[in-house]
A and B are shown apart, each in its own frame.
Chain A
């Protein structure tokens, strides 16, 4: 069996014995998701890439502490989130000394974490409205408190199961559900059809 076709467990077992190719296969398998998760915290692709690479390196060096009964994916995502938060804190404290930097420049550095799923036969008007929806949804998600935002993104945009979200964030399943419930309620209030605009809501109904 070739290395890329092996399960996570088999790859982790080989990587623990120092097999870099096995670990490389794990990196290749989760690199995109890792960058996306880091980007949802940092809102900057370059920083997200660097943080996720640090997380992979830490994961490799910490494989000895990895419990075999745990899922590698959620364990890795937990490291990615912690690393991204660490980078965020450092960048924030470094930003204190950049008082001469114009605020507009900093805002422009925030990159979008969402993109529209392309659909065939979309008119220019529909494409425009879809972009509008993306912008509104993203700003609504950014308005959520940190924990609720993390839980929502991991559950509904990364597609993790509730138990995986709990494991990745290191919190109880009930806490995840509570955060999700609060987050969804807030999004529902923020994204009312009136606030979304009549045209966009019509597009949604359509």
Chain B
């Protein structure tokens, strides 16, 4: 139990009696009351920006940054599975390109024409005429075959131009 132990010892009492709390100088306290009144008028401290305010500022800032990321930046970034599918499609395109390289140029041009834009009537006629002319010049395979057969027939023995006496 603490009984009268809160009282000073004679030595301490003697020490304490020699000192006192230092009072502020009158010069420092000159405008004390007017400054108190000013603080009362502005609501003590006025606007304050301390540690709690800084913390709230950063938390709100981080939340806003997260919000912006998920709703503006994130949709533009493709998920992993979509990237995988895209690479598979690209592989397919490469394979089809390789196949296309193996197809003869003529077939390619024929295939290419199917993918071209639809032509006007005059253009189509012009294209057809041009193809006919080219066919006349170079001939198609069937026509060439027929001509070859006919030549052979004409040249074969017993079919016309046979030399008499052979």
Contacts and interface: CB of A to CB of B under 8 A. Distances in A.
Contacts of B29: 31-32, 35, 49
B23 A36 contact: yes
A53 B35 contact: yes
B69 interface: no
Contact of A134 (B5, B9, B19): B19
Given A181-B5, A181-B6, A191-B12, A27 B18 contact: no
Contacts of A31: 29, 32-33
A54 B33 contact: no
Interface residues of B, number: 33
Interface string B1-45: 010011111011011111111111000110011011101100111
A49 B5 contact: no
A43 B6 CA distance: 25
Nearest to B37: A20
The 4 closest A-B pairs by CB, nearest first: A180-B6, A181-B5, A57-B39, A115-B22
Interface of A: 20, 24, 27-28, 31-32, 35-36, 39-40, 45, 48-49, 53-54, 56-58, 60-61, 90, 93, 112-117, 130, 133-134, 137, 153, 155-158, 162, 174, 176-178, 180-181, 184-185, 187-188, 191, 193, 204
Interface of B: 2, 5-9, 11-12, 14-24, 28-29, 32-33, 35-37, 39-40, 43-45, 50-51
